[in-house]
Structure 1
Amino acid sequence: MIKRGKQAQSGQVKLTFSVPVDQAPGGLSVVGDFNDWDPYAHPMQVKRDSYELTVTVPADRPICFRYLADGGVWFDDVDADYHDQHGGHLRPVAQSVEADDEPLAVSA
């Protein structure tokens, strides 16, 4: 699950990522273009029965991300706005997605 915060005057927005612990026993990180794909930059913390992490990103551009579980297992979030061979893409500020929207630009 992904929760989007409200855009701040600074042009930043907080994103909260949440994944049930049973999907990745052992550990999990959020890895993406916002942290230069560094698997150690954003390890998720266990909160009750899920891993959670909140990051602050620019609100004006889509981000590309994936989850990395212990053992080198990559997986995508079903709540991403768009998926392709590079992972999930997310518009940090909630926007409606029309059927005829162009795919988001891939950055990585």
Structure 2
Amino acid sequence: MLERDGREGRTEVTFVLPADTPPGPVSVVGDFNEWKPGTHELTPRPDGTRAVTVALAAAASHSFRYLAAGDYWFNDDSAEGRPDGNSHLAT
């Protein structure tokens, strides 16, 4: 799930997943962090989910995926898909 909060000149996007699905560490990897795993790792929240917030330029388009333990790549069901297989996010 994606949560968006517009700020002056940027959009803060929070990437949210259930606590244990998939199990183990998960990071969001995309063109906004040069596809570097571990740069934006999701951390537990009090409500039982895990999340990470990333500040992105407003009026931009980004591709991303999640990377879990065991080299398991997956998309966000709440995001638009792209022909290249990645999730798409417009800010």
- Normalised by the length of structure 1, the TM-score is 0.77
Other-structure match for 2:32: 34
Q: Would you identify which runs of 4 or more consecutive aligned residues in structure 1 move more than 2 Å?
A: 81-86
Unmatched runs of 5 consecutive residues or more in structure 1: 93-108
Tell me if 1:20 matches 2:18. yes
Question: Identity of paired residues, percent?
Answer: 38
The answer on whether the counterparts of 1:81 and 1:91 sit within 8 Å (CA) in structure 2 is no
User: What are the superposed Cα offsets for residues 29-62 of structure 1, whole Å, 9 maximum, x if unpaired?
Assistant: 0000000000021111012422201110011211
Partner letter of residue 42 of structure 2? M
Query: Which secondary structure does the structure 2 equivalent of 1:68 belong to?
Result: strand
Distance 1:51-1:84 versus aligned 2 partners, 3 A rule: farther
Q: Which has the higher strand share?
A: 2
Query: Which secondary structure does the structure 2 equivalent of 1:40 belong to?
Result: coil
Tell me if 1:90 matches 2:89. yes
Query: How do residues 1-108 of structure 1 correspond to structure 2 at under 5 angstroms?
Result: 1-6=1-6, 8-9=7-8, 11-48=9-46, 49-92=48-91
CA distance in structure 2 between the aligned counterparts of 1:88 and 1:63, rounded to whole angstroms: 8
Structure exhibiting the larger radius of gyration computed from Cα positions: 1
How many residue pairs are counted as aligned between the two chains?
A: 90
Distance 1:83-1:40 versus aligned 2 partners, 3 A rule: same
CA distance in structure 2 between the aligned counterparts of 1:86 and 1:37, rounded to whole angstroms: 14
CA distance in structure 2 between the aligned counterparts of 1:23 and 1:87, rounded to whole angstroms: 19
Unmatched runs of 5 consecutive residues or more in structure 2: none
